[in-house]
Amino acid sequence: MRYFCSPHHQDSALFPFIGQLERAARFEREDTPAARLNKLEALVAANAPAEGDVQLVAELVSVPINGCYPALELTPQRKKEKTFEALLRQVAGLARAQPVLMIFEDLHWADPSSRELLDLTVEQIARLPVLLVATFRPEFQPPWTGQPHVTSLSLRRLGRDESEELVTGLVGNSATLQTELREEIIERTDGVPLFLEELTKAILERAIGDAQITATPRASLAIPATLHASLMGRLDRLGSAAKEIAQMGAAIGREFSYELLAAVSRAEAELRDAVGRLVDAGLVFQRGAPPLATLLFKHALVRDAAHSTLLRGARQRLHARIADALETHSPEMMDNQPELLAQHYAEAGLIEKSVAYWGKAGWRSAARSAMAEAAAQLQKALDGLALLPDSPERQRQELELRSSQGAVLFVLKGHGAPETGRAYARARELWEQLDFPSEFLRVPYGQSRYHVVRGEFDLGLRLDEDLLSLSRQRKDSVGLVLAHYSSARNLMFAGRFGLSRTHLEQVFSFYDPISQRSLINQAGDDPYVAAGGISALAVCCLGYPDRALARSKAAIDEAWRLAHPPSLGSVLALGNMLVSVVGDDAALNERAEQLVAIAAEQGFPWWVHREPSISDGARPRVVIWWRAYLSCAVV
């Protein structure tokens, strides 16, 4: 099992794992979706899958299931967790059949989700017959070094004897290097294997037939002083056509398809000849036969050397052709790998298209709960947008990106993180400049929540009042519901239960479950259902526990009927606070178990805490927030 990381896919969630799955399933470019699904089913079935594994893996590699399997109703976070579990089962299933070798190359370029999954893999293989070899640069420090089953090896430069052996192995019978020239190569390359190999090959390519290369003055030999110079010399000697194809491949990436190369390059006959020269020279590896071949630069430095020779104008035109070819010949990539198109358009200087694809990539990553990748992609979209002239259209595009960035940073950095606050503050500026568009009510709502989480209740409540005033002025019932809901929640946590209850009554009055269904997307849960849970707590704290218990039960029943997991989790958590305060241990245990089950199934870790225990049977318990505070309030 081989996993390849790439500097061009550091923001592409699970990129090396997707590549490994596609190779293991033996996908071919001409495969129909049905054929790919059949191959994927066979791959997954061979390794003791659990129910739902096919759907999860198919979605990961963008293979449509077309109704062959039931859809999985999971939150993005829980879907991500279950996808990880499915991939770990694949490794375990293979290891049960035979020992497994896993090779993870260039880990320093891995995306955050891949690093997260690799951490779990390292933990799992401690109990399996698996050897995992991961290569990475010294500046990268994985968290699992130092564990008992992990051995770290620092690869040093080659010694003199090893260098001489490598040179001798390369020379073979094609030429004889005199001792002084061997010494020159070994001294110049300083034990760097790739430099040794490339410099020796560069000198051999300049030899005539099998004639002996004699030691001559350094200036006469013109031995390249650097690895880059050596690689460039080899590319130059292959001819202009091969060099041009190498440049095109380098613009695509370290790995590229012959089909894409043909779409942006010269005539077929010239292309095949040029590719053949690169393969024969050992600078590019080829898998399969044209036109279905896949090509791979021997080393990232070879790719970098070829790419560095492109002048700025030529490079931009080439990246534009590549992006256009991808849209034309692989339209599925616009949905499956928008970040790749974004990179090419950015390199081409086509900023507007780059921004659009970075935004699409960020929203796609967020939907898959790859929040670190989403944050990076949205920031790149914003960086590109800053290069465009100001206009209402540009402001609206930034507002959309900033509001999404705020929601992502809520999860990634925390509700009260400074980065979250800055995102919402800028989004608020844009929202006001654009005359408060109602489809972005999540901006003032999120900003208020940010301040309240930081304990800045007055500021959060002032923002709620602003939203109330605006919504009344516009007679916007959706805004009124959200503003009253936010005010009620924040006032309750501020201990102002009577005012909280007043706002809650307004939520119940204004809310229309049919026309205002979109409020779930703005608030994250159903305001009507969540308001019921908050109302129960407020009533309890005002001294009416029996009424509170009845309201809590009604809210929970409504949440079960709605079948919206975040809303159900919210009211169950609020209900647990309530029954904890009134001392109903039986109800607390029942609802706690329900919440634990929902949280485990949907991936809501903030509602579940596992007590420290050395036994495997440690029982999850629900964290009852502010129990002491609410108890004091009742007293």
Q: Kindly state whether residue 365 falls inside one of the protein's structural domains.
A: no
**Predicted pLDDT of residue 367:** 84
Report the alpha-carbon distance of residue 374 to residue 361 in Å, rounded. 7
Tell me if 508 is assigned to some domain: no
Asked whether residue 83 carries a pLDDT value surpassing 90, the answer given is: yes
> Does 419 have pLDDT greater than 90?
yes
Q: What is the pLDDT of residues 119-164, one digit of tens each?
A: 999 999 999 999 999 999 888 999 998 899 999 998 888 888 898 8
- Rounded CA-CA distance 633/582 in Å is 12
Tell which residue, 619, 3, 13, 14, has the closest CA to residue 366: 13
Domain check: are 125 and 177 in the same one?
no
What pLDDT score does 177 carry? Answer: 63
The answer to whether position 377 is within a domain reads no
- The pLDDT tens digits of the residues spanning 545-589 come to 999 999 999 999 988 888 778 888 888 888 888 888 888 888 888
Over residues 252-272, mean pLDDT:
87
Tell me the C-alpha distance between 191 and 200, whole Å.
Answer: 13
Cα distance between the two ends of the chain: 63
Share of the chain above pLDDT 70, in %: 90
Is 117 a member of any domain?
yes
Instruction: State whether 167 and 123 are in the same domain.
Output: no
Structural domains of the chain, count: 3
Q: How far apart are CA 128 and CA 117, in angstroms?
A: 16
Residue 476 and residue 498 in contact, taking contact as beta carbons nearer than 8 Å: no
Please indicate, yes or no, if residue 359 is contained in any of the structural domains: no
CA distance 302 to 283: 7
Calculated CA dihedral for residues 337, 339, 344, 346, nearest 10 degrees: 160
Give me the torsion for CA of 513, 518, 520, 521, rounded to 10°: 180
Same domain? For 69 and 175 the reply is: no
- Please check whether residue 284 is in contact with residue 297, taking contact to mean a CB–CB distance below 8 angstroms: yes
Instruction: Select from 176, 205, 225 the last residue of a domain.
Output: 225
pLDDT at residue 202 greater than cutoff 90: no
SS3 assignment, position 37: helix
Phi, psi dihedrals of residue 298, rounded to the nearest 5°: -55, -35
Same domain, 115 and 81: yes
- Are 95 and 180 found together in one domain? no
Distance CA 540, CA 546 (A): 8
Domain that includes residue 22, residue range? 2-134
pLDDT at 48: 80
User: Do 125 and 14 reside in the same domain of the chain?
Assistant: yes
Q: For residue range 346-390, list pLDDT tens digits in order.
A: 999 999 999 999 999 999 998 888 888 999 999 999 999 999 999
Q: What is the pLDDT of residue 286?
A: 93
What's the angle, vertex CA 479, arms to CA 478 and CA 483, rounded to 5?
A: 125
CB atoms within 10 A of CB 239: 13
Cα 11 from Cα 370, distance rounded (Å): 9
The helix (run of H) or strand (run of E) holding residue 471 is helix 457-474
Q: How confident is the model at residue 191 (pLDDT cuts 50, 70, 90)?
A: confident
**Both 115 and 216 in a single domain?**
no
Confidence tier at 605 by pLDDT (50, 70, 90): low
Last residue within a domain, chosen from 205, 225, 245: 225
Q: State percent of the chain over pLDDT 90.
A: 53
23 and 126 part of one domain: yes
User: Would you state the pLDDT for residue 224?
Assistant: 65
Radius of gyration of the chain (CA): 30
Q: Cα separation of 20 and 34, whole Å?
A: 20
319 touches 263 (CB < 8 A) = no
DSSP code of residue 158: P
Q: Which two tokens stand for residue 307?
A: 């790419």
End residue of a domain, out of 117, 134, 151: 134
At 530, list the tokens: 């969540």
Token pair 């079935």 in the structure block, residue: 45
Specify the 3-state DSSP secondary structure of 251.
Answer: helix
Per-residue DSSP letters for 80-117? HHHHHHHHHHHHHHHHHHS-EEEEEE-GGG--HHHHHH
User: Strands 2-4, 100-105: parallel, antiparallel or unpaired by DSSP?
Assistant: parallel
Q: What CATH number corresponds to the domain at position 213?
A: 1.10.8
For residues 93 and 165, state if they share a domain: no
Q: Please tell me whether residue 293 adopts helix, strand or coil conformation.
A: coil
- Work out the average pLDDT over 501-524: 82
Tell me the average pLDDT of the chain: 86
Contacts for 185-188: CB closer than 8 Å, 24+ residues apart: 185/223, 186/160, 188/223, 188/225
What is the model's pLDDT at position 207?
Answer: 57
Q: What is the DSSP letter of 257?
A: E
108 lies in some domain:
yes
Q: What is the pLDDT of residue 604?
A: 64
- Asked if 302 and 283 touch (Cβ cutoff 8 Å), the reply is yes
Whether residues 89 and 40 share a domain: the answer is yes
Domain annotation covers residue 329: no
Write the single-letter amino acid at 210: D
H helices within 15-102, ranges in order? Answer: 15-24, 33-45, 53-60, 76-97
pLDDT value of residue 597? 79
Whether residue 621 sits in one domain with residue 562: yes
Could you tell me if residue 420 is inside a domain?
no
* Residues 179 and 129 reside in one and the same domain: no
- Cα distance between residue 549 and residue 216, in whole Å: 96
